[in-house]
Chains A and B, each alone.
Chain A
Amino acid sequence: MVAASPARQSIRDNITGWIKQRVQAKRGPLTPPVELEYRHIFVLPTRFGWGFGFMLVCMALGGLNFNNSMALILVFLLGAVAQLTTLIAYRNLSGLKIDNVWSEPVFCGEDAQFRVFVSNGDDHQRFAVQAGFNKPQDCADFRLNSHNSMVLRHPTVQRGWLEMPSFRLETRFPLGLFKAWSWIFPRSRCLVYPAPARTAPPLPKSGQGQSGRAIKGDGDEVHGLRKYQAGDSMQRVAWRASARHDELYSLEMEVPRENACALDWDLLRGDDIETRLSILTAWVIAADHKQLAYSLRLPGTLIESGKGTAHRVRCLESLALYLS
C-alpha cells in the first residue's frame, strides 16, 4: 500500500484533530467509569472497505447490464452483509465500560504505561477491540460479563504530570470493512520523574553534608540475641531475656554497613535546573539501591533523612514536581 503523502497525512491529522476538539468540547475529560454510548461511536469504512465497495459496484454494474439475477443476488447479499457489519462493529463497542485507568510513575524517557480497565457488562461477546493513542497498541476480546485490561504506552519527554491524552477504542470486527471507534478523554495522569542522569557524580559522602551521622564504634542498632560468650561486655547482657532462661544472653549489635548521606540542591552549583534535578534523581536511586538513609533538600523543600520505598517515592515526587 502506498504510504500516505505528507499533505494527505496532514489533512487527515487536521480532520482528526478537529473531530477530537469537537468531541472533547462536548464531553470534556471524563472521570472513569465511562460507558460508550451511541453518540460516542463513529463508524466509517476502512480502506479495504472502500476497495470492497468498489468491487461490489463493478459487480452490480455487470449484473445489471447483463440482467444476471444470480450475480445481482450475490452483490446485494454482500452489500447487505457489509451494511450489517456497520451495526455489528457499532454493537461491538457500544456498552463497553472503561472502569478505571491506572498508571505507575515512570522516569522521563521511558514510556508511560496506562493500564485501561474495561468491562463488558452485556450479554454478548465482543471481539478484537483495539486501543491506542494514534495507532493500535493493544487488543482484547471480551466474553460475556467479563473484564479485561489493555495497556497503552505513551512516550514521555518532560518531568511532571503527564495528562493522559485522549485515546481511541476501535474495532473492525467482523470483516474489516468498517471501523467503529470512540474517542475517550479520561481524567487520568501519570507522574513522570526526571530522567536519572547517566553520568552523575558519585554520591556525596557523609560528613560533607550537615546532617550526616558520625560512625559509632560497635554500632548502635540491635541486631538480635545470642548466647553469652566470654568477653562480651556486661553492658550488653540482656538481663531480662537471660532471666527467663537458665543461661545468659547478650545483645548482638551491628554497625550500619554504610553511611547516610544528604542530597542537597546546593551541592550542584552551576548546572541548570533540569540537569540538577536529574543528577539528584540519579542520587536518590543510587542511595535507595545502596539502602542508605538519605535526605533531600530542594529550594523551599526539605525531606528529612529516611529510607525505604515510601521515602524514595516522596523524594522522586518532589523532584518531579519541582517548580511546576
Chain B
Amino acid sequence: MRSAPTALLDRRGIIWVVLTLLISMTPQLASMPLHLVPITLLPIAWRLLAEFRRWKPMPMFLRIVATALAVTVLVSTYGGLMGRSAAVSMLVLMLSLKLLETFRVRDARVVASLSLFLCGTQFLFSQGVPMILYIIACLLSALIALMYLQRCEAYDVLDKIPDTDRNLLSELGFGARLLALALPLGLALFLLFPRWGSPLWGLPEDALDSRSGLSDSMTPGSIQSLFMDDSPAFRATFASGIPRHSELYWRGPVFWDFDGKSWQISYLSRNLRADSRPAAENAPIRYAIQMEPTEQKWLFALDYPALIPAKTILTVDYQLIALHPVTELRDYVVASDPGFRDSPVLRRTLLRAALDLPEGFNPRTAEMMSEWRSEAESDAEIIRRALDYFHQQDFHYTLNPPLLSRHTVDEFLFDTREGFCEHYASAFTVMMRMAGIPARVVTGYQGGYFNSIGSYVLVRQSDAHAWSEVWVRGSGWTRIDPTAAVAPERVEQGAVDSLDQRRYMFDFQWLRNARNTFDLFQRGWNNWVVAFGADRQSRLFSIFGWDMPGPAKLVMAMIAVILIVGAAVFMLVPMLLQFRSSRSPDPLLRLWKRFTRKLAKAGFVARPSMAATELAQKATGQLKYKGDAILKIAELYTRCRYSQDSDNQQELSDLIRRFPPRSTS
C-alpha cells in the first residue's frame, strides 16, 4: 500500500518536531557567534506562531529571500563554509529555515531525522559526560516526534486522529521504553562492531578549528582567554611518585623567533630532532597521560622526555610533537628525567637564533641591558639581577593587563608593570637576549590539580603558562620562571588561585569532592567510552582469547554474524512473540487451548463455536479413546469456568497434562 507522506501535521506532531530540533541545536546555539542565534531562532518562532495562529505556509519567494539573507550573514560571519563550526552552523540554520515549509509529514520527517544527524555532529566538538543527557534528550524527543508523524500519516485517510494516549507522561514512557529495549543491542553493537585502526580519510587541516589550548604563536595577552577556561587539557596518572606542584612544568610550544610583537615557532626547532635524550632506564618520573583533543600536534610532557610514545618526534628543544593533529582523545605514556642536561654545547645556528632580536624595538630596555652587561661579571649575575628587578620593583600579577603598543617590552618594564606569565616570560627573554645571553620562551602548562579520589593530576586549560629558558655555558638550557619572581604563589597554586579571587564562587569541601568525583567519572567515561577504538576493542577481545582478525576476515566474520543473528531473530523472536501473544491472560482458557491443541494433534479439529460438552461428545465419538477422558475434562472445565473452583483447576491441569491416555484403540 502506498503511504501518505503528504499528510498534514497535527499540532502535537509539529510541536515535538520543533522540540527535537531545538534540543539538538542547543549546544551549537551556545557556541555560535551571538548575532546568528536570533537569525536561527526566528524561523522556529514563525513556525510555532503559524501553528497557533493558523497561518498559511510562507510563499516560496519569501522563503528564498529569507534563506539567501541568512546564508549570506552566516558565510560572512565565518568567512566561508570551511571548518566544522561553520558547516554545522549552516546545518542548524538550514534546518531551522526548513521549518518555514514544514507543513506535511514528509518535511517534518526530514527535520526530525536531520536533527538526529545534527546531534551526531555535535560529538565532533565534545564527548564529555554532559553529552549523555543531550543524547538521551535528543533521542527521546525524536522518537516521540517520529511516532506522531507516523500517526498523522496513518490517519490521513480519516479526518481525525483518535486521542489514544496523548499526554506527556505516556509519550515519554513510550520513548523511554523503546530506548530501554534497544539499549542492550545498541551496547552490544558498540562493543562488538569492528573499529577501524586508521581512518579512511582525514579531516583537512583547514577544517580544524583549533578550538582550545595553546597556539603556535604567542603574543603577550593571547592566552588570557585560557585562564577562564576550566575545561581539562589532560590528565596525568603517575606510576612513580607525583612531583611537587612547583616542578610540574608541562612543556608545549617553544618559541625562538620574536618580531617585536609576537613570538613564533622557529623553523629550526620544528625541523631539528633532539641530538640526545635521557636514558630511559634512569628516568625517575613515569606517567600516563590522557589528552583531550586539541587539533594541534603538541603533546605535553615534563622535562625531559626519555621514553616517547609511538608516532611522535622529539625536537631539538624537546617539544614532543605528534605526526598528526590530536583530533581525538589520546593516551600516551612518557618517562621523564628532570636531571638531564639540555645541550651543554649549543650549535652556532641555534645560538644565533637564541640571540636574534628585531631592529628598532624597545630602546629603553636595550639601554638598561647594555648598562647591566657592563656592570656584571657573569651571565648568572645578570639573570639574578633581572629576577630581582621583577621582584623588587612594583610589578603586579594580573589577568587583565593594560594594552601595549609598539615597544611592548619597554612599556611593560617601565610604564604599566602589570601582566601575567606571557608578559614576564616575553620581557625576560628579550632582556636576556639584549644582554647577550641565549634565551627562548617556552609555553605549556604549569601545575595541575591533584584529584585525591582518583589519584591523578588534572591539568586544565587555565593552567596554561609561559616561562623562559636561558642557555648557560656548561649547564645548558636552564628554566627560569620570571612569573615566580613576581607571584611565587602562581607556581605554587595556579594562575587563578594566585589572584585574590577564588576559582569557584562556592568553594566547600563537599562541593570539591563532588567535583573530584565528577571528573573521575569523566575520566572513566573517557577511558571506557570515548577512547574505545580499535586498540581497546582488540584488548577486550583478547580477554576472551580472541585475536582481532584482519580486515578481510573481519568483513567475513561480520557477514556471518549478521546472517546468524538475523536468522536467529527471524526464527526465534517471532516464535517467542507468538508464544507470548497466544498466552491468554485467563489461565483456564490457556489450559483449554492446550487441550484443544492436543485434540487437533490427535486429529480432531474443534470449531471455535463449539461448547465444551458438545466438543467433548463429538471428539469422543470421532477419536474413540477408551473411557471418558475427554468428557471428564470437558465437564471439569465447565465446572471450573462457572464455579471459580481453584482445586478443580489443579485437577483439570493434571488431566490435560496426562492427555491423551496411553492406551488408544
Contacts and interface: CB of A to CB of B under 8 A. Distances in A.
B186 A46 contact: no
Interface stretch (B28-36, B112-120, B263-271): B112-120
Interface string A51-94: 11001001100111111111111111111110111010011001
Contact of B573 (A65, A87, A137, A179): A87
Nearest to B149: A176
A63 B190 CA distance: 11
B151 to A, nearest CB: 6
Contact of A69 (B109, B127, B581): B127
Nearest to A59: B120
A77 B181 CA distance: 10
Given A132-B1, A170-B1, A80 B186 contact: yes
A83 B5 contact: no
Nearest to B589: A121
Contacts, number: 193
A323 to B, nearest CB: 36
Contact of B574 (A46, A52, A90): A90
Contact of B135 (A74, A85, A177): A74
Interface residues of B, number: 72
A170 B5 CA distance: 15
A73 B530 CA distance: 10
Contacts of A135: 1-2
Contact of A71 (B120, B153, B201): B120
Interface in B169-223: 174, 178-179, 181-187, 189-190, 193, 195-196, 199-201, 203
A138 interface: yes
Contacts of A62: 120
B571 to A, nearest CB: 10
B286 to A, nearest CB: 27
A168 interface: yes
A190 interface: no
Nearest to A4: B2
A249 interface: no
Quick one: which of B157, B530, B533 has the most chain A CB within 10 A?
A: B157
Contacts of A55: 113-114, 116-117
Interface in B1-56: 1-5
B581 A94 contact: yes
Contacts of A172: 3, 150, 153-154
B328 A66 contact: yes
Contacts of B187: 76
Interface stretch (A122-130, A296-304, A309-317): A122-130
Interface stretch (B70-78, B139-147, B474-482): B139-147
A94 B1 contact: no
A137 B157 contact: yes
Contacts of B5: 1, 47-48
B4 A174 contact: no
A70 B533 CA distance: 11
Interface in B99-145: 106, 109, 113-114, 116-117, 119-121, 123-124, 127, 131, 135, 138-139, 143
Interface residues of A, number: 67
Contacts of B360: none
B578 A37 contact: yes
B604 interface: no
B577 interface: yes
Nearest to B182: A80
B322 interface: no
Quick one: which of A37, A76, A122, A168 has the most chain B CB within 10 A?
A: A76
B310 interface: no
A294 interface: no
A58 B117 CA distance: 9
A84 B577 contact: no
B585 interface: yes
B532 interface: yes
Nearest to B110: A51
Contacts of A58: 117
A76 B179 CA distance: 11
Interface of B: 1-5, 106, 109, 113-114, 116-117, 119-121, 123-124, 127, 131, 135, 138-139, 143, 146-147, 149-151, 153-155, 157-158, 162, 164, 174, 178-179, 181-187, 189-190, 193, 195-196, 199-201, 203, 327-328, 529-534, 569, 573-575, 577-578, 581-582, 584-585, 608
Given A74-B139, A132-B1, A176-B153, 7 more contacts: A38-B578, A64-B196, A65-B199, A67-B195, A70-B135, A130-B154, A139-B154
6 contacts: A63-B120, A73-B135, A79-B186, A79-B189, A80-B186, A81-B179
Closest 7 CB pairs of A and B: A80-B182, A128-B154, A80-B185, A176-B150, A76-B189, A80-B186, A77-B186
